[in-house]
Amino acid sequence: MSSSTQSFVFLLLEGFSNMVLASAVEPLRAANYCAGKTVFDWSLISTGAQTVQSSSGIGFVVDGTLAELGAADWLVVVCGYGAQDLSTPALCAELRRADKNCAVVGGIDAGPWVLAKAGLLNGRNATMHWLDMSAFQVEFPEVLALPDRYVMDGNRVTAGGATTVLELMLRLIRDSCGEAVAFDVSNTFVYNSDRVGIDNRGARSLSVTTRHPQLMRAIDQMRRTISDPVSLDRLAEVALCSKRSLHRLFLKELDIPPGRYYELVRLAHARSLVEETALSSYQIAAETGYESVPSLSKAFKKRFGVSLMSSRKAAVR
C-alpha cells in the first residue's frame, strides 16, 4: 500500500466521453475522501487547446498541454470517437517524449489506439473498447489484444468503456489505499457488477454483491447503529457467525478488524455531520456514539488530520 500522493494527468482528446472521464476521476476523489487524506491528485491537459469538447458537446477547460507536461506518475489518454484521425505523427511524437517522464502510461476507451499508433504498446498486452477491438487487432498485430475488462502490463495500462474504467480505478485504489477504502468507494458509486478485473480473487472482489453475506449483514448493522454502537458479540450474532469468524472475515475481505471498521463508519458519519449540518460538537458526538466531545475530537483528528471545527470551516469556504 502506497503512502505517497500519486499524480494522474488525463490527456483529453477532442470527442472524448464525459462518462469515461468521470469513471476515472470521481473514484479518485472519493478515495481521498474515504481515506481522509490526499492519496491522489489529478489534472487535465490537451494537445494545445485551452478547452476540449467532449462527445456530448460539453467544453472542458484544461490545466495545461501535453507539450508542457513534466514528470507524472500516471499519464492517461482519454479518447472517444475519431481515434484514427486524432493519432497524428505530432501527437505520437509528443506521447513518446512524455513516456520518458511518466511512471505509467495508459489509455482508456479508444485511448489504447492512440498509444498503439505511437508504438507505446508494441509487444504488450492491451485492451480497448469492444466496438473497436476487431479493427485494433488488424491495425496493430504487434500488440497482443485481449478481451479483458482492463489490462495492466508493466507500466502500460488499458481499459475500454466507462464501467471497465471504474473497475480499473477501484483496483488501483485497492492497491494504494487498501481493501476497506476501495470497498467504501465502490459503495459510493453503488457498484454492483458481477464481472471483475483480470485478477478476480474471489472473496476479495470489489463488487458489493459478491461480498460474503455475513460481512454485509455485519456492515449493515454497523450503519444502522452509528449513534448507539453495539458490541462485536452482537455484530457476530446478527451476521450469524462467531465473533472469531467475524474477525477473520473482516481481515480476509477488508484487511481490517471489525471494530476498527466500525469506528471508521462512525467517523465518516461524523465528518458528514460536521460539513453538512449546523449540529454542535456535543450533538455530533451523540449522533456518532461517542461518550464525549474530547473522545470524538481525538479520534477525528487522528483519522482526518484536522479538528472538528477546522473541517467545518474548510467546508464553509
Kind and range of the H or E element at 175? helix 162-177
Kind and range of the H or E element at 28? helix 18-35
pLDDT at 24 over 70: yes
CATH architecture of the domain 194-258 equals Orthogonal Bundle (1.10)
Domain 6-177 and domain 260-316, same fold? Reply is no
Please give the share of the chain, as a percent, with pLDDT higher than 90.
70
Residues 6 or more apart whose CB falls under 8 angstroms from that of 265 comprise 219, 222, 223, 226
Residue 55's pLDDT is what?
93
The CATH superfamily assigned to 6-177 is Class I glutamine amidotransferase (GATase) domain (3.40.50.880)
- The DSSP bridge partners found for residue 11 are 45, 77
pLDDT at 195 over 60: no
Structural domain boundaries in the chain: 6-177, 194-258, 260-316
Q: How far apart are CA 220 and CA 223, in angstroms?
A: 5
> What are 214's three cell numbers?
455475513
Q: Is 44 in contact with 107 (CB distance < 8 Å)? A: no
Going by pLDDT thresholds of 50, 70 and 90, the confidence category of residue 286 is very high
Residue 314's pLDDT is what?
62
Residue 313's pLDDT is what?
63
Q: How far apart are CA 59 and CA 61, in angstroms?
A: 7
CATH architecture of the domain 260-316 equals Orthogonal Bundle (1.10)
Going by pLDDT thresholds of 50, 70 and 90, the confidence category of residue 190 is low
Helix 213-224, helix 243-254: angle, nearest 10: 100
Going by pLDDT thresholds of 50, 70 and 90, the confidence category of residue 292 is very high
Q: Is 10 in contact with 278 (CB distance < 8 Å)? A: no
Output 47 or 193, whichever has higher pLDDT: 47
pLDDT at 39 over 90: yes
Average predicted confidence (pLDDT) for the chain: 88
pLDDT at 259 over 90: yes
pLDDT digits (tens, 9 = 90+) for 120-167: 999 999 999 887 888 899 999 999 999 899 999 999 999 988 889 999
pLDDT at 79 over 80: yes
Q: How far apart are CA 114 and CA 78, in angstroms?
A: 9
pLDDT digits (tens, 9 = 90+) for 198-253: 443 333 344 444 468 899 899 989 989 999 999 999 999 999 999 999 999 999 98
